[in-house]
Structure 1
Amino acid sequence: MEVVDLGTLDGRGVSEATDVNTRGIIVGWSETVVEGAQFVRAVQWEDDEPTALGSLREDGLGDTDATGINARGTVVGSAQDSDWNWNAVQWVDDEPERLEARSGESRSRDSHATDVNARGTVVGHFDDGDSEVRAFQWTERDGMVSLGTLRDDETGRSVATAVDDDGTIVGYSVGNDGRTHAFQWTKREGMTDLGTLSGDGSSAAFDVQTGAVVGWYAEDGEFANRTTTRWDGETLDSIGTFRVDNTGYSQAYGVAGDVVVGASQVDAGGSHAFVWVDDRLIDLGTLSNDDTGQSSAAAANVQGRVVGWSQVDGGNNHAVRWTW
């Protein structure tokens, strides 16, 4: 297995990789210094070399982050504007474009894009102006459209985390019982509750590919012992953790083919990035010389590349690429 420290934009600070496409292009963010001030910048790594993506602000200041990239190389994420508000954006020729409602007016003071599929459909969440967060879908034709929530009266919070190439969207939403539940949204059926392993408790979904949805599930009052869950049609699978007694937490963030990636608690305390394949939980370790510290995997592609972050010697988190 190859492990590569992707570093940061200026050789110091913190960075994180959030997604990788089938061409091996990686996106995420890195701390950097602009005009003497420290900001977070959206980054694209190609051949493991980082390039900062553009800012919405004319002065080049403000934070940006990249959270998704599709096979064509379209990058999505969020960027602060001149009023320091967050805006869902996509980068075109390295310059950010706001993703807004069809009217051309922003849906809210704050919006964040999380993923984009091969068709250019973008998902994320926005503040509806009444202190409620709503999952959205954005397309070139329809603009930003709310997906509602799992509650019958469509109140409460919902967040869209990923979109498959067929348009299936997943995320999490408050349900009628007041708990957070993983959801799946399709144009035909709207938002549906993916449920939990026991019928009670809470859950959340973070990625979807070809019908397989991954995330976590927790019994009531047991969030510290949440476990990685894969919804696959009518089947729900779960795993434990790296700990000897199988306690603690694990949660999945990405799926590619038969491979699920995420993070699991270890006996030393903290968590390590994992690959879950063929019902085996494989520890990807960390960038520290003695394999101590923490790490987490955020996404994978079918070519065997896994990206995320890891602590390095000295304690900072760096974006990392594993190839296994």
Structure 2
Amino acid sequence: MHAPLTAPTLFALGLAGLLAACGGSDKPHPPPHPPGPHALTYDVIPLNPRGETYGVINPHGINANGQVTGHNFSDEGTRAFLYDGTRLFEIGTFGGANSQANGINRCGHVTGWAEPAVGLPQAFLYDGTLRNLGSLGGESVGYAVNDCDVVAGWSAAPGGVHAFVHDGAIRDLGSFGGNSFALSINSRGLVAGYSFFANSEAMRPFIYDSKAATGLQDLGTLGGHRALAKVINEAGQVAGWSLNADGVMRAFRYSDGVMADLGSLDGTGVSEAMDMNESGVVVGNATSQSGAQHGFVHDGTSMRDIGTLGGLFSEAVAVNASGVVVGSSQTETDPLQRAVSWTPAEGMVDLNTQLHAPPRGIHVTRALAVSDNGSIAALANTGLVLLKVRR
């Protein structure tokens, strides 16, 4: 008999196809890269109520108003939190030890999963009250929530794991025969995710219209046997990655029934989309045949290299409505990552150089999400922080 899936296991299954680069070290770092002449400055707001030094915030874990949700890890367990623009607090659980928060909508309502005192972790919606969304038969994970409080995620179900939406009741989205996972939802109730085929490593991205409930729409691939939809915007455009006919991973944008290969920075290498804004601007990472990874921006016409702080590495993980890109990079002499922002006007800016009266010894390593108001959620050596724009 197989051991039962736990919510962390379900979460790991859901992200099995999400590939991301990560680096870092504890070595001393050299003087920071100089910022552009008009770069913003930020107040540093800690997002670790118990002093935790590591946590996670997803790109859709920050809303347009700069409210932030995520979760911190400690010896006491995993705890979901919300920063509502004024105060930071833990969301709580259903009586158990652990919870995680994954997505937030414009109203500041949050979805994730929480443990009960007895039984299996369950998806939740937090709107001032922690609401148990139930499951399809076992554990469940809420991953994204739209402005109508419709939640998308996945749950253990008879025969495997299936994507779901919760719009007053939990509904099974089905699959292409194997497991399925929902990763993004827009205000029209269009859900994007991916599903495996039965008894196969093949997987396809899908769109599901939760209002029409007409079943999963297979978006196809770029010629290979695997593809994944990561994000859907209000226009119904989808971004993700697909293997091409040569088995090479490429970022794609799906629009008006067409999946477009966004290419790579050197013409032959790998690329992966990480986020997309409402204008269809896609950001992600591209790795050349030499092994160097750079973040990219694709504006619908061409792919642009965001560069580095002088080293061999950068990543672009999120983009806001104004086209501000955030991620991390390294200098030429130090592998320690530095949180960065990028705009066409400013180029790449080391966010460590833009902190107003920062806590002593802080080093911000990775930017994780960016709000439409310009605030940036990030990971520092001291734990999760919000870099709030000084007005």
TM range (shorter): 0.7 to 0.9
Q: Counterpart in 2 of 1:163?
A: 232
CA offset at residue 124 of structure 1? 0.6
Q: Counterpart in 2 of 1:148?
A: 220
2:302 to 230, 235, 238: 235
TM-score normalised to the size of structure 1?
0.75
Is the contact made by 1:9 and 1:51 (CA closer than 8 Å) also made in structure 2? Answer: no
Structure 2 letter corresponding to 1:70: N
Is 1:133 the counterpart of 2:199? The answer is: no
Is 1:64 the counterpart of 2:148? The answer is: no
Query: What is the alpha-carbon root mean square deviation over aligned residues?
Result: 3.5
Is 1:257 the counterpart of 2:292? The answer is: no
Q: Deviations over 1:72-91 (max 9, x none)?
A: 333322222366x3221223
Structure 2 letter corresponding to 1:13: G
Structure 2 letter corresponding to 1:145: Q
Q: Deviations over 1:4-61 (max 9, x none)?
A: 416559984335664444344455567x564388x5x656566xx7946534166xx6
1:290 to 340, 361, 381: 361
1:99 to 154, 173, 176: 173
Partners of 1:20 and 1:275 in 2: CA distance: 22
Q: Counterpart in 2 of 1:22?
A: 106
Q: Which moved more, 1:141-150 or 1:268-277?
A: 268-277
CA offset at residue 292 of structure 1? 4.8
SS of the residue 2:178 aligns to: coil
List gaps (5 residues or longer) in structure 1.
Answer: 101-105
TM-score normalised to the size of structure 2?
0.63
CA offset at residue 177 of structure 1? 2.4
Q: Counterpart in 1 of 2:190?
A: 121
Structure 2 letter corresponding to 1:22: R
Q: Deviations over 1:56-107 (max 9, x none)?
A: 166xx625241x2333333322222366x322122335x643223xxxxx43
SS of the residue 1:302 aligns to: coil
Q: Deviations over 1:220-266 (max 9, x none)?
A: 241xx311110013232222344xx3223323234332222234357
Structure 2 letter corresponding to 1:234: T
Is the contact made by 2:271 and 2:286 (CA closer than 8 Å) also made in structure 1? Answer: yes
Pick the structure with more strand per residue: 1
Partners of 1:33 and 1:309 in 2: CA distance: 29
SS of the residue 2:320 aligns to: strand
Is 1:90 the counterpart of 2:155? The answer is: no
Structure 1 pair 311/21, CA: closer, same or farther in 2 (3 Å)? farther
Partners of 2:350 and 2:365 in 1: CA distance: 15
CA offset at residue 179 of structure 1? 0.7
CA offset at residue 183 of structure 1? 0.8
Partners of 1:184 and 1:2 in 2: CA distance: 34
Structure index of larger Rg = 2
